[in-house]
Structure 1
Amino acid sequence: MSSRANSPPDSDFDDVYAAMAQSSPVSSPRDPPTTVVSAPANNQNVVAAINRFMAKKRLRGEQKAEVAVYLNDPPTIREAKAFVQAFHLENLLAKIIVSQPPWEASSDLEKNIYSYGAAILLSSKLSAYKGSVPKQILYGILKKHRFDLPPGIEHNPANWGKVTHAVEEALTQLRAKFKKAIGGSLKEKPKDVLLLPSADRKNIFQLTQDNAKGTQCEVNVLLCARVAFMGVIHSDDSIGGPKYSLQRKSYIKDSSVNFWTAVDKDLVKIREKADGDLKKVTKAFRHVLKTDREQHGVDDYEIDEAVDTFQQDVDKMVETGTAGPAEGDDGPTGNDDH
């Protein structure tokens, strides 16, 4: 009788089977991301202050959660995150700047430039009508009052170039306006050769009103004297000393681009003759005004002696701002003469 070998118990899988029979452990649920900063009890005052500050700044839930994580990070991680965030903000700012339209001078800025430009050209303190002198004074006024100029625009060559263009354009327009007004005060039509009779010409008060129109300038004696000076030409006589001939009449002979060059030369001669004596300069201008009143129009008006506050402020800027051309400015050019 054959015998059958007994099979050994299959013990290799006993532990496997036993494991299969066991119930699976249940892990505790994970806490959702917190949106409130937490800390040990001894730091509760700090935590409360941070939470109040986040609420005041109206941070969103996910932002509050990031703050909570950030505060629990090691110092090195916090420093790295802050550095990365700085670059992120820089990139966002660059996108905003690029997306902005190019800066342009506003109409209000152009009006202010024109108004102050007129006050400069009509100032009794001005040493030259052309070149860098009136421009540098006007730049100084713009930098002082700012108006609506963006901060730091002086350091942006492209945008500051638009400001310099507006300044040059305003001064050119004003010089052209003044010169045209002188011609218009003498004759009925611009192309007329013959002058109007003396009594039919505009008097200096009317001519100064024309020049000041559209600006903040008010007519006064010093302003009229300056306008009258634009209408004379100065020459030296070897025997009789300085003489003044009426430039209103000479304007008909030479209304070319040499007009303002001649006026600037006259200013230099007046100042040289006065040898720095302001009283002598004032006397010269008052003499010019007196002569103009006698020769042009009907002298039936009174001129206010008082200088308005606006013009006084500009005169102070003119007095302190005529040191000479700024760096990079070559001074007078033919393009300024209109």
Structure 2
Amino acid sequence: LGPYGRELESFATEDPANRTLLLYAKLLSVEQKISKIAVSSGSFTVSKALSDNIKNYTHAVLLSPKLSTYKGEIIWKRVMAVIKHLNVNVPDNLESDRHVYKAVKEAVTLELTQTRSKIKKAIASSRTTNQSVYELANGLVESTQCVVTVALCARLALLRKVHAEKDKSGPKYWDHVDEYLKMVRTVAEGSEEKIQQALSTMLAQDRSIYGTKSQSTIPSDSSPNEWQTTVDDVISTSATTPADGSTQDDEADGDD
């Protein structure tokens, strides 16, 4: 009977009621151990439905005025937080299967690179054509669930300001943007009111440079729709909560 001989002999001497209880306890123990084992599928392909959602979520995150950084670990974790929160077309084993998590993360990282590239190109083009910030914003929200707001226009004014600075529109553009955002927060000493004042000043400067062609004023009462508000709330919440317990590598995404 090997190492389990004495345990088995002891079990046999128990009365039927105790044997039943001991057997049930053992089964529960085995079940708990099995549940901790992540069953690996070996491979996983992101469905078109989930891929479309990732594209929508990525656009909403990158166009959110709540965003504190555009590169690195934080940004893809913000998108992952939105994916988990909305939980639409998400595999049940996203958290437990490392292959599934890795595939979804890679899809998010790729979409972030493509969307940042799209935004950067739109900003570069807007400078050469003297496009108003309102027109720039309208072009970027086209075919998305996002809407043009004063806050979005102010954020785009900041992005365009950095792009116009000497030697900052190249491959490291988004790193320069992150540095500028950090500087704004530092100067404002973390005060949200002071940050908004700084962004309002940038928006006014942007409009004086590029004008307000084909648009008289940005509606002062404009506000995010329910979709963007949900994404903004998830970004704000995930920014104040500990990172998830994933064991995936936290490499930074590529320059674009």
Output the CA distance in 2 between the equivalents of 1:127 and 1:332: 18
Give the TM-score taking structure 2 as reference length. Answer: 0.75
Give runs of aligned pairs for residues 1-338 of structure 1, distance below 5 A: 103-187=44-128, 200-233=129-162, 247=163, 249-250=164-165, 253-299=167-213, 300-304=215-219, 305-323=222-240, 333=252, 335-338=253-256
Which SS does the other structure have where 2:71 is aligned?
Answer: coil
Identical amino acids, percent of aligned pairs: 30
RMSD: 2.5
Output the CA distance in 2 between the equivalents of 1:263 and 1:326: 26
1:279-318 Cα deviation digits (max 9, x unpaired)? 1111111111111111014444322322222111111111
> Could you say if the C-alpha distance between residues 202 and 269 of structure 1 is closer, same or farther in structure 2, counting changes exceeding 3 Å?
same
Output the CA distance in 2 between the equivalents of 1:297 and 1:285: 17
Q: Give the greater-gyration-radius structure (CA).
A: 1
Flag the structure with higher helix content.
2
Shift of 1:326: 5.1
Contact 2:50 2:89 in 1 (8 A): yes
Contact 2:76 2:109 in 1 (8 A): yes
One-letter amino acid of the counterpart of residue 63, structure 2 = L
State how many pairs are aligned. Answer: 213
Shift of 1:168: 0.4
Contact 1:154 1:160 in 2 (8 A): yes
Output the CA distance in 1 between the equivalents of 2:44 and 2:251: 29
Output the CA distance in 1 between the equivalents of 2:168 and 2:223: 34
Contact 1:132 1:325 in 2 (8 A): no
Which SS does the other structure have where 1:155 is aligned?
Answer: coil
Give the TM-score taking structure 1 as reference length. Answer: 0.58
Output the CA distance in 2 between the equivalents of 1:322 and 1:259: 23
Output the CA distance in 1 between the equivalents of 2:86 and 2:233: 14
Contact 1:119 1:311 in 2 (8 A): yes
One-letter amino acid of the counterpart of residue 301, structure 1 = S
Contact 2:54 2:107 in 1 (8 A): yes
> Could you say if the C-alpha distance between residues 276 and 156 of structure 1 is closer, same or farther in structure 2, counting changes exceeding 3 Å?
same
Alignment partner, residue 242 of structure 1: none
One-letter amino acid of the counterpart of residue 195, structure 2 = V
> Could you say if the C-alpha distance between residues 329 and 283 of structure 1 is closer, same or farther in structure 2, counting changes exceeding 3 Å?
farther
Structure 1, unmatched stretches of 5+, are 1-96, 188-199, 234-246
Q: Which has the higher contact order (CA 8 A, sep 6+)?
A: 2
